[in-house]
Structure formats: structure tokens, C-alpha cells
Amino acid sequence: YCAKSEGLGHSVYDPARDSSSTQRLALMGELPEAIESDELVVLYQPLIDFRSGAIAGAEALVRWQHPVHGLLGPDVLLPLVEQSGLMSLLTGRVLDRALAQRAAWSAAGLDLDVAVNLAAPNLIDIGFAAAVDALLREHGVPPRALTLEVTETIVAADPPRVIGVMGQLHALGVRLSLDDFGTGSSSLSFLRRLPVQELKIDKSFVLGMDGHAHDGAIVRMITRLGHDLGVSVVAEGIETAAVYEHLRAGGCDRGQGFLLGRPVPADELARLAAAEPAGRAAA
Ligand code: C2E
Ligand code: MG
Ligand code: MG
Ligand code: MG
């Protein structure tokens, strides 16, 4: 095959053009060790509190720093993990890293919470909540400092079972967030059965606010719905100051997006959070 690294950080591996199952199998063969090694990279994207303009937390986003193919994103990595049956292992490693990081930030005087994405295999695993509990205790992180992000698609896979596991997680005291909200087909019927404390508006609507009146209307509706339900509302995909200002004026609680900060290594996130927080919105 012809995929070649252009050096660290940049990937030229294009899975869409990779029809070779031998290459996929090769990557899958490397995966179990990679997940347990430094090749598994966790980046942190700032979550901004609209009221203070400060960094209130960060979402952990996984990458595979492959020695040959460069930095592989979730679009390549997650299907391989799924096919290999390694999702529980991956989530465990990302959670472990993120909680260790949160503990380190806290020790450095930074009050940041951390969000981790879950996948379907985690939420049909009746042992998952106990594993999360054990990791929280190991790292001495209070449950409320951890947000677990779940999509409607995951819930739809097996509603009774997923809702059961979410109930156990809720009972631990961790926050649950409904990620990519608005893109699922059954948002509203599920909503009242889910023990979530946060709606995370999908970035397609937020990106679309620049220019499309309908997307602005949808975002305002979701924000009101969330607040009427007593949960907080987060917008992802904020790329422009105009969208930021609309969301702030509309009462959205938190924001995430390239305007506010890209996913970065943990030490960089700490530098950003320690630096002057005010005036971010104006910048
Ligand atoms: P997500 O959970 O909805 O995460 C937000 C994604 O939107 C991230 O992509 C982030 O980099 C991107 N994003 C943030 N702000 C902007 C913006 O202003 N504009 C645009 N265009 N994009 C923005 P990323 O890191 O490639 O992750 C993609 C998805 O992969 C995530 O979507 C999540 O569903 C999944 N994922 C990432 N890390 C993990 C993980 O550790 N475990 C699991 N199960 N899934 C993960
Ligand atoms: Mg997410
Ligand atoms: Mg999302
Ligand atoms: Mg997404």
C-alpha cells in the first residue's frame, strides 16, 4: 500500500481509499498493544462557561499516534476498536488517563471537570458502573467532576439495558450528557426516561447558525427544552464570534469549538486554563 507518514502529527492515511482488508487486519493486529501504550493519545478540548468566559472543563478525545501512519483520528480508530471487540479496553484506558489528568489538574490548583465519550459496548456492560466507581476511587476524583457522554444512537441500540446502566452511573454521582443531541430520531421520547444532566447540541446545528435561520431556531428550542427540563445545555462546534454571541445571549451554559480552543495535549490545556480567563469571548 502507499500510505506514508509525513512525520509526527500529520496523517496521510485515508481509510476511505483503503480497501485492503490486509491493511485493516494489520492495524487490528497492532491495536491491543497500542491501546496499552503511549501510542494511545488523549487530547483535551476546552469547555467554556458562558457566564465567566473561563475554561470550566475539557472533553477527552482519543487519537492513535501510529508509528507509520501518523496521527489517526476517531474516524479511523473507533471502527477498528469496535471490530476488534476492544471498546471496553479503550474506554477503560481513556477514563484512566482522563481521571489521572483531572487529579493532576486539581493538585495544581485548577478546578476543571473532565468529559469522556462512551460507546455502545460500555452501556450494555452490567459491570461498567462498578469499573467507573473503582477508577474514581483509585484517582480520588469526586464523581461530579466526571461527565460521561452518551449518544441517542447508543441508547437506541438496547434502551432497557442502556437506561439501566445509565441509572447505575447516575447513582454513582457522575454527570451524564446526551451528546450530538438533535441528530437521533427519537430524542424526545427517550429524553424523559434518561437520567441526564446535560444536553450537548450537535455541532451540525451550531455550525449552521451562521447563515441558516432554521438552525438558529433549533438551537434556541433545544436550549429552552433543556432548561425547562432542568438540565444544562452545551453547544459544540463554535467556530465564529457571531455564533458564540448568539449562544451566550440565548442562555446556553457552556460552549466548545475551534474558536474557543482545539483539542490539545493535557499540559497545554492546563496552561490555557491557568492563563488569564477573562476576555476570551472578546478575543
Ligand atoms: P464528539 O464527542 O461529538 O466530539 C466533538 C468532535 O467535534 C471532536 O472531533 C472535536 O474535535 C470536534 N469539534 C470540536 N469543535 C469543533 C468545531 O468548532 N468545528 C468542527 N468542525 N469540529 C469540532 P474528534 O476528536 O474527531 O472526535 C470525533 C468523535 O469521535 C467524537 O465526537 C466522539 O463521538 C468520538 N470519540 C472521540 N474520542 C472518543 C473516545 O475516547 N471514546 C469514544 N467511544 N468515542 C470517542
Ligand atoms: Mg463528545
Ligand atoms: Mg458531539
Ligand atoms: Mg459526534
148 lines ligand 1 (CB under 6 A): no
**Ligand closest to the CA atom of residue 202:** 3
The answer to whether ipTM exceeds 0.85 is yes
Q: Give first-to-last CA distance, the chain, whole Å.
A: 45
Could you tell me if 98 and 114 are in contact, meaning their C-beta atoms sit under 8 angstroms apart? yes
Angle at 80 between CA 78 and CA 85, to 5 degrees: 95
- For atom 9 of ligand 1, the residue with the nearest CA is 61
Tell me how far apart the alpha carbons of residues 143 and 133 are, in angstroms, rounded to a whole number: 8
202 lines ligand 1 (CB under 6 A): no
pLDDT in tens, the chain (283 residues): 333 333 445 555 665 556 568 888 899 999 999 999 999 999 999 999 999 999 999 999 999 999 999 999 999 999 999 999 999 999 999 999 999 999 999 999 999 999 999 999 999 999 999 999 999 999 999 999 999 999 999 998 899 999 999 999 999 999 999 999 988 776 577 788 899 999 999 999 999 998 878 888 999 999 999 999 999 999 999 999 999 999 999 999 999 999 999 999 999 999 999 985 544 444 4
- For atom 17 of ligand 1, the residue with the nearest CA is 237
